Amino acid sequence: MSSWLGAHTSEADLLAVRTGLAEPLAQLRADTGRECPGRTATIIEARMAQMIAGEGGLEPFGELDPGEQVVVALAEQFMLDAHGVDGAQMARLGEHFSPAEQIAIMFQLAFTDGFTKLRRVMGLPVTTTTTTTTTTTVVAPSPPSSSQPSSSRSSSSQPSSKGDL
């Protein structure tokens, strides 16, 4: 798949154009995901990708425990309207997770929301989520070609690596 920027087909390709961003962002995102309890980071990524693409479900995860169900509801609200996340939702999150885990979950929501939307706008695969039993790639529809901006600038820098962060 090619984005409206041309040959850039992955998040890593795009970040390689902005040298110095790829490594620190990858490290920050990896650290944030590791801090999330259990499989909540993977569930957040899967649900947000499904919402953008308008397809898929959480069946590959099997039955979600009550804490994971709260995380899914929070992820949905966060993506649709972060201003709608209220004290009651945060209290439900607190019933299942420690303050440190809640912060990690919120950081994961912010990173996933932002990068999922960025990939969608750039015409890239929305995300790839891997669970212990399934790998799911969700691809969002490409933006309309009539909205492609033209640019007189070109970059001669070549990506140093391929693949999503």
Per-residue confidence band for 140, with pLDDT thresholds at 50, 70 and 90: very low
CB 30 within 8 A of CB 23: no
User: pLDDT tens digits, residue range 86-109?
Assistant: 999 999 999 999 999 999 999 999
Residue 45: give the domain boundaries.
13-127
Q: Is the pLDDT of residue 73 over 80?
A: yes
Tell me what the pLDDT averaged over the chain comes to.
75
Structure-model confidence comparison of residues 29 and 109, the more confident one = 109
- Whether 37 maps to a domain, the answer reads yes
Residue for token pair 């033209």: 150
For residue 44, what is the domain's CATH number?
Answer: 1.20.1290
**What distance in Å separates the CA atoms of residue 52 and residue 57, rounded to the nearest whole number?**
12
- Whether 42 maps to a domain, the answer reads yes
DSSP 124: S
CB 119 within 8 A of CB 13: no
- Whether 153 maps to a domain, the answer reads no
- Whether 87 maps to a domain, the answer reads yes
* The predicted structure's pLDDT at residue 72: 96
**What distance in Å separates the CA atoms of residue 114 and residue 90, rounded to the nearest whole number?**
20
Gyration radius of the chain's alpha carbons: 17
Structure-model confidence comparison of residues 119 and 161, the more confident one = 119
